[in-house]
Amino acid sequence: MDTTYNNKPYFDHPPAGFVLMAASYKLLGVSEFSTRLPSVLFGLMSILLIYLIASELFGRSEIAFASALILGSSVWYVIRVRSGNLDSAFLFFYLLTVYLSLKSARNFRWFPFVGLSFGALIMTKTLAGISVLVLIVLLNIKTLFGKRENLIWLLLAFIFFYLLVFPWYKSHEAKYSDFLNYQIKHIGQRDRTQLLLIPSNISQTLFYLHMGIRKWFKLWQLSFIPYLFLFLYQIYSYFKRGKKIKQKKSVEILPYLFILIWTTVVLYPFLASSQTEIWHLIPVYPPIALFIASVTFNIGLLFVKTVVTRFNLEKVNLVRIYPVIFIGAFLVLSFIQAKNFWAEVYPKVKYTNDEVDISRRLSKYNQMIYVDGDYLPLAVFYSGKQIKSLILESDSVVTFTKLFEIDKGNVIGVTRNWVFDDLRKKNFNFKLLEKNNSYSIVTIP
């Protein structure tokens, strides 16, 4: 399958996310709604998946519910889920792969579906999801060698992955000589040259993380000390009690290690990259949500049990009341969080930004269009036209002189209003077709 953008081959990302968006277009027509619909659906399913993952790890619906609340009330999760992009589909397949890996750890017959889900993840954003391999191995390494028949399920997983991923990569490698190098080094590694990832961008990345999840960031930080105490307490209980109890406790210890490893493998590469953007950190939100919910619930439950035992309060039923208090507290925190960022996501006054407005106006012109700015994908979508980037020279006069020499001046240029104000001062001759608060559309007089 070949994908194109602006009538040119496009393979920055594999086609899975675009196919899902195209299916929405086919059913509902091309619109903002049909563009956003797949993202919204995947976003809702990701919230369900984080609930299921927490249930598998801890067996407590309270932790699962709180984890879902944290993810669903993280501001940049909401912003990206309601936008037409690949992040929502990517996170869904990442979480689905983790969930299926948890299922296969208990019953290895689930493992072929892990291969299928991992293949879909790779076909959404290539190397961005490669960190899930660590989690797959961590959860299944013991089960893999438990029975001989498990090798059959492993082989099936490889076959599913191969059939889903290999054809697209093989065909593009045959068509484009530098395809793999471009995919791995330029897109996957962001042209990074050093092999060792050194955390050189810690403060900026943590700031972005804070802005992305807002109030949950402080609670995440505060959870580390209780986490350490809880972890050491469980290790102490593990060695103090009998063999059967130890086996049970070892299962309880694993989720905390698993979440910490998950957070590390996802977050660490961003700490070492100078190109980290705020939306890149969305895959870090789920393990943080699990971390906060599990630590706060269990440390609170341990405290309640200690108080009940110490002061002989069995008749008060505090242990039964505590889960209700816990869920209520997270509902209140989630409501406050959503209330604070609601205006950022849903402005009180509806408006059309200048990039969208000028792009819609371009739809009426048949000349080749050249746009100056970083909104080229948006311009292509709203205009429905083939659009090229304006090549900027050292001086605006030189830029538009060269532009108007293309196709004998049968072209249109779009740039900021102040550029044309500057051109007027320099007595450069052009014809203004339309303008809004920020941008102007011009052509040769």
Mean pLDDT, the chain, integer = 88
Q: Which of 191, 223, 392, 206 is nearest to 293 (CA)?
A: 223
pLDDT of residue 193: 59
Mean pLDDT of 130-138: 94
Q: At which residue do the structure tokens 């599990």 appear?
A: 294
Provide the pLDDT confidence category of residue 236 given band limits of 50, 70 and 90.
confident
Amino acid at 155: L
Q: How far apart are CA 387 and CA 360, in angstroms?
A: 13
What's the pLDDT at 190? 66
Segment 415-436 shows an average pLDDT of 92
Query: What's the whole-number mean pLDDT along residues 220-231?
Result: 86
Q: Are 198 and 269 in contact (CB under 8 A)?
A: no
Q: What is the β-pairing status of strands 411-416 and 431-435?
A: unpaired
Distance CA 324, CA 102 (A): 27
* pLDDT value for 251: 42
Q: What is the largest CA-CA distance in the chain?
A: 92
Are residues 14 and 125 in contact, defined by beta-carbon separation less than 8 angstroms? Answer: yes
Mean pLDDT over 320-344 rounds to: 93
Nearest 5°: CA angle at 168, between 165 and 173?
120
What is the mean predicted confidence (pLDDT) over 308-324?
78
Averaged pLDDT, 401-427: 91
Name the residue with higher pLDDT: 179 or 237. Answer: 179
Q: What is the mean pLDDT of residues 236-260?
A: 63
Tokens 């990302």 -> residue: 13
Site of tokens 């203004």 = 432
**φ/ψ of residue 415, rounded to 5:** -155, -175
Which residues share a beta bridge with 32?
none
- Residue 252 contacts residue 224 (beta carbons within 8 Å): no
pLDDT of residue 350: 79
User: What radius of gyration do the chain's Cα atoms show?
Assistant: 27
- Rounded Cα distance, 259 and 67, in Å: 12
Dihedral over Cα of 405, 410, 413, 419: its sign: positive
Specify the range with the lowest mean pLDDT, choosing from 65-74, 304-313, 401-410, 412-421.
304-313
Judge whether residue 194 has pLDDT over 80.
Answer: no
Pairing of strands 4-5, 8-9: antiparallel
Distances 9 to 12, 180, 208, 272, 430 between C-alpha atoms, Å: 10, 15, 33, 31, 33
* Whether pLDDT at 398 is above 70: yes
Extract the runs of DSSP E, i.e. beta strands, from 13-125. Answer: none
Percent of the chain with pLDDT over 90: 60
Secondary structure (3-state) at 388: strand
SS3 state at 60: coil
For strand 387-389 and strand 8-9, is the pairing parallel, antiparallel, or unpaired?
unpaired
**Is the pLDDT score of 32 beyond 50?**
yes
Evaluate whether 78 touches 345 at the Cβ level (below 8 Å). Answer: yes
* pLDDT value at residue 55: 96
Q: How far is CA 99 from CA 53, 150, 333, in A?
A: 5, 19, 26
Model confidence at 46: pLDDT above 80: yes
CA distance 228 to 226: 5
What number is the average pLDDT over the span 205-222? 95
> How confident is the model over 261-300, as pLDDT tens digits?
999 999 998 888 888 889 999 999 999 999 999 999 999 9
Are the C-beta atoms of 266 and 284 separated by less than 8 Å? yes
Is residue 255 very low, low, confident or very high in pLDDT (cuts 50, 70, 90)?
confident
- Residue (of 154, 127, 156) closest to 140 by Cα position: 154
What six digits make up the tokens of 9?
């081959």
CB atoms within 10 A of CB 205: 25
Would you say 55 and 72 are in contact if contact means Cβ atoms under 8 Å apart?
A: no
